Amino acid sequence: APLSSVGSLRKELADSLSACRVLVVGAGGIGCELLKNLVLTGFKNIEVIDLDTIDVSNLNRQFLFQKKHVGKSKAQVAKESVLQFCPTANITAYHDSIMNTFGISSLLWSWSYRQLNLFILAAARNHVNRMCLAADIPLIESGTAGYLGQVTVIKKGLTECYECQPKPTQKTFPGCTIRNTPSEPIHCIVWAKYLFNQLFGEEDADQEVSPDTADPELSWNPADTEARATASDQDGDIKRVSTKDWARSTGYDAVKLFNKLFKDDIQYLLTMDKLWKKRKAPLPLDWLEIQKLVHSSQREVTGTGLKDQQVLGVAGYSQLFSRSVETLRSMLADKGDGAELVWDKDDPPAMDFVTAAANLRMHIFSMNMKSRFDIKSMAGNIIPAIATTNAVIAGLIVLEALKILSGDVEQCRTIFLNKQPNPRKKLLVPCALDPPSANCYVCASKPEVTVKLNVHKTLVLALQDKILKEKFGMVAPDVQIEDGKGTILISSEEGETEANNSKFLSDFGIRHGSRLQVDDFLQDYTLLVNVIHCEDLEKDVEFEVVGDAPDKAPTPPSAQEDKNVANGNKDSAEPSTSSKAPAEQDDVLIVDSDEEEPSSSTMDVRMDSGGHKRKLHDAETGEASAKRQRLDQPSAADEDDDDIIALD
């Protein structure tokens, strides 16, 4: 008998789509395309979560949003827009962080009692990866960087998890981090490059440098966030002008530029008091005060060797800023009205400007300033967000989801979207999913890692924040010393072990060969940490992860640039692999079905990390107020192979 169908899908599959539940994490570039694809494919029950609010720079590619939506919750507006062309869909929107809304307990509950079938992620990837492993739910993850993109599937026990392979350092950062809360030198360098374009080059709404009043961290109330975002358009009779127009009106006066950028804007940031509750507040600079240092010969120069390798003091960089502004103003005037300059790291005036502006901002935010040589090496090209790339990747996500829901997880693939066709004239390159890494410190049967540090100089607080939370992505770690007494070193319960924070590890008998059992009940994750005492670590290095635990990303091959996929924007995600995902025999996603498919571990097309973050940057760190009991996975989890989690 012929198979019955609904549209282009088998009836059984169509019924599965309308019955299953999908959680989409992220409603940005990929998320907007994906939500549209999901409802038009036949998915009916969708939950979407995103902490971010809509910025005007999103409107060129996140098509579910319009100008009237600026400042509103991305998740809520995406829901409302989708319901306009698919009113029968059942969509729940959360303006929140995945860290707050979906802990492991709620995820297991959703999986067992609400049939959560699909998880699609765009942020907090480490956290969600661990939740999915604990709940044994397949996960689809994706990312884009300019014209490059990638989609992969993660399934416990069958494929690599998201953390099996190390991720390169994030290349791009959320706008609110660049504009409001820089914490690393690269944030200040990116800000300085944005500033160059705003003053002398082609202005771009994505490269705003003024304080971001719509920073989602400022308010959990969507109405307050929206009001803050639109306040700049409601200033009565005040005429809003662009940064370049204002600079021109001053004749590119270096003193006025300096005081606006490094004094007035910083003082305005200080009024956003919520930003500084857990951060060190910035310190504004005043031109006249700095000139006193210049005239009193208190300029500080550190470093030896070539001039480019020296680090000037604040006074020196203020003078360099003034000279470079004057030079660039003259260059712009020589080009005539309407002309623009293009930033080039090999153009001395442009490099001087970025070096000075970046270092002054570093000083304001209490960072060690960098030499011109260091800044030049760190200042790379900024990868644009391409709407069509997001659309292609969102389509591939749905195709992988259909495979999983069809029960053909083994047919799932990691798919790479390249900028140029490969030797076989393919833009889409499928790779077989890799098996789990036996040495992964997350998905191994008994996760274990070795850390080299100086037990006499490492504080308990540094172990908690820099090693367990920042390096190993934990949220609320509890640490017990395996000393035969079960000494509790760190507790996630507030106030229980805070007195230990200012003590050194050696104060608790921790020495070479000590073992620490670390539990994060919010992630249902246990890690055994072996301590190696070392007194000759490199300068400024507090600890090293040694052995098989991934602590450095592999060097990407230089020969095949078109396959080197990197996550370069907020809409993107890093790659992960999962294998138990279903695919139909005639699925169009199998691009090279007539040839042997290479393993993703042997391909030179691996996605770099990207942002959310993270840090999010994405919200991959957080505080837990109470210790949670470990949850056992429900037995139903082992009986239903149709559950999926997809990462956006």
Residue 29 annotated in ligand binding: yes
The owner of tokens 């507006």 is 77
Contact of 494 with 484, CB cutoff 8 Å: no
Residue 236 annotated in ligand binding: no
Residue 58 annotated in ligand binding: yes
Paired tokens of 126: 């480490």
431 included as an active-site residue:
no
Residue 242 annotated in ligand binding: no
Residue 188 annotated in ligand binding: no
CA dihedral 488, 492, 496, 501 (to 10 degrees): 80
Which of 43, 155, 145 shows the shortest CA–CA distance to 612? Answer: 145
Residue 350 annotated in ligand binding: no
Q: Catalytic pick from 32, 132, 176, 188?
A: 176
Rg (CA), the chain: 26
| Amino acid, res. 611 | G
The owner of tokens 């098996």 is 435
Burial of 306 (0-12, 13-18, 19+ CB in 10 A): exposed
Contact of 400 with 153, CB cutoff 8 Å: yes
The owner of tokens 């000083």 is 363
- Residues comprising the chain, all counted: 648
Residues 6+ away with beta carbon under 8 Å from 576: 125, 129, 139, 141, 152, 154, 160, 161, 162, 163, 164, 647
Residue 164 annotated in ligand binding: yes
Which of 196, 285, 176, 213 shows the shortest CA–CA distance to 247? Answer: 196
Residue 157 annotated in ligand binding: no
**Using the 8-state DSSP alphabet, how is residue 472 labeled?**
T
Strand order in the sheet with 21-25: 90-94, 45-49, 21-25, 116-121, 139-145, 148-154, 413-417, 428-432
Residue 42 annotated in ligand binding: no
Residue 97 annotated in ligand binding: yes
Residue 26 annotated in ligand binding: yes
Give the residue numbers of the binding site for ATP.
26-31, 50, 58-61, 74, 97-98
Give the residue numbers of the binding site.
26-31, 50, 58-61, 74, 97-98, 161, 164, 440, 443
Active site residues: 176
Give the residue numbers of the binding site for Zn(2+).
161, 164, 440, 443
